[in-house]
Structure 1
């Protein structure tokens, strides 16, 4: 019987998840399919969850705007999902929904891959933004022992994030936020107003956006000689544990990054 899974969010046509998971499915020779489902309303998302409970879907990756709704609907949630209050992965089993968040894993995997000398334990790191992406980043970095500083236009929203994650996360502003930071993560969907001259020569700059792959922020950082980490590495990093949870088999060793770059028309 074909195992069915997919990604849910709105809009969804831009999602690269079907390409990534489809490449792994083909390489593993699985009788499975992974599709983009949408839907375009919270009510329709609930209907999709009902299909999962009935056994018609094995799993879903979830993106905006449904991550919090996915978390709230789950019968069982992982520690990672509970920490950030949202879920990007649902696995359906015997009428129950198991929720997890693999975004933090993806972020840490991207850092290990593209900035292997970076050590965050006991060191200051800065996250720009206080939305869902920032929550995942803050949770993962706090769990890794970093001293997390949130910089966001809305101070109240940043304070709520810090309070939810715990004492390892604080709110900062101005030039002082970047003092001694070993990592700056842009969790905004736009280029931040960031003066790169505030950063030390060994600071790593990560942009969670992957369209374009080389964002203006990353290009500017690399031109200063800083190490850059792109959002595609995070996307693939979070997809791997999702694939393994849904299809119950290791993700094959095939170069999905090259496939995605070719799809995007980007150079390696």
Structure 2
């Protein structure tokens, strides 16, 4: 019997919690499969996919920093992800051996925010990489009236706002935060081995939501600052688990047991 295999690729990759998530679901459902972390350098992306293409047991991979945009050049884009989000985080092997890319980040990001009305709201987003693209794609469909995008490269930030048809401003990283209803850190700042995100939350309204996509550590300095101000805080595990659930169904052909999310979070935070 063939053991189905999937993995997460990136560089670095040791921090990834994706193996814990997928293995938890595999065990819970009694599926004979595996999910591992694999460090793949930018120079080896083409070779990695060439090797996986001929392995029938390889069902696919998740993609993390810094490859979410680069993988577009190596796989088939049936859903026109290139023109929409412009980044992929999930690659799967079709029955004929074709490697196909998609993006489950946008849905994973949206999940924790789906219970609120955001029409006419103002969002501030930090970062302009693959994760930010998924966030901006989601925001463009959630009814936000304005988006302020902060990034080291202001020209790139401005181009991204235009790409997603969002009204707003592109500002440098050290610019003061606007009085936004939602603040999203879609950059690596605050991640283990990275400097913290240095922002002042004083101008955010009392009902603002602070959402940090970083999940290593789970309690980032940004989230600690938000909680100190009694602001609603969403950690990176929310998006990580949400996007992983969609990818798991693609890889292993079964819906993960989301009724056990509390148990999964305990495992991930132990």
Task: Could you tell me which runs of 5 or more consecutive residues in structure 1 were left unpaired when the two chains were aligned.
Answer: none
**Residues 6 and 37 of structure 1 are in contact (CA less than 8 Å); yes or no, is this contact kept in structure 2?**
yes
Q: In structure 2, what is the equivalent of residue 251 of structure 1?
A: 256
Q: In structure 2, what is the equivalent of residue 20 of structure 1?
A: 21
SS of corresponding position for 1:148: strand
Structure with the largest fraction of helix = 1
Q: In structure 2, what is the equivalent of residue 211 of structure 1?
A: 216
- 1:129 to 1:65, Cα distance in 2 relative to 1, 3 A: closer
Q: In structure 1, what is the equivalent of residue 142 of structure 2?
A: 144
Q: CA RMSD in A?
A: 2.1
**Residues 106 and 134 of structure 2 are in contact (CA less than 8 Å); yes or no, is this contact kept in structure 1?**
yes
Q: In structure 2, what is the equivalent of residue 51 of structure 1?
A: 51
How many angstroms apart in 1 are the aligned matches of 2:243 and 2:221?
23
- 1:42 to 1:257, Cα distance in 2 relative to 1, 3 A: farther
TM-score by length of 1: 0.87
- 1:80 to 1:125, Cα distance in 2 relative to 1, 3 A: farther
How many angstroms apart in 1 are the aligned matches of 2:207 and 2:31?
44
Farther off after superposition, 159-168 or 223-232: 159-168
Farther off after superposition, 200-209 or 253-262: 253-262
Task: Could you tell me which runs of 5 or more consecutive residues in structure 2 were left unpaired when the two chains were aligned.
Answer: 190-195
Aligned 1:110-125 pairs, distance under 5 A: 110-112=112-114, 116=115, 118-125=116-123
Q: In structure 1, what is the equivalent of residue 193 of structure 2?
A: none
Question: Would you say how many aligned residue pairs link Structure 1 and Structure 2?
Answer: 258
2:232 aligned to which of 216, 227, 239: 227
How many angstroms apart in 2 are the aligned matches of 1:24 and 1:217?
30
SS of corresponding position for 2:255: coil
Q: Deviations over 1:214-264 (max 9, x none)?
A: 212111111212101101111111100000111111112353554454454
Q: Deviations over 1:183-207 (max 9, x none)?
A: 0111222233322111111111111
Farther off after superposition, 219-228 or 34-43: 34-43
Aligned 1:1-268 pairs, distance under 5 A: 1-43=2-44, 45-54=45-54, 55-80=56-81, 82-93=83-94, 94-112=96-114, 116=115, 118-146=116-144, 147-168=146-167, 170-172=169-171, 174-175=175-176, 178-179=178-179, 181-190=180-189, 191-253=196-258, 255-256=260-261, 258-265=263-270
Farther off after superposition, 33-42 or 240-249: 33-42
How many angstroms apart in 1 are the aligned matches of 2:13 and 2:91?
17
How many angstroms apart in 2 are the aligned matches of 1:230 and 1:27?
24
How many angstroms apart in 2 are the aligned matches of 1:53 and 1:144?
37
SS of corresponding position for 2:202: helix
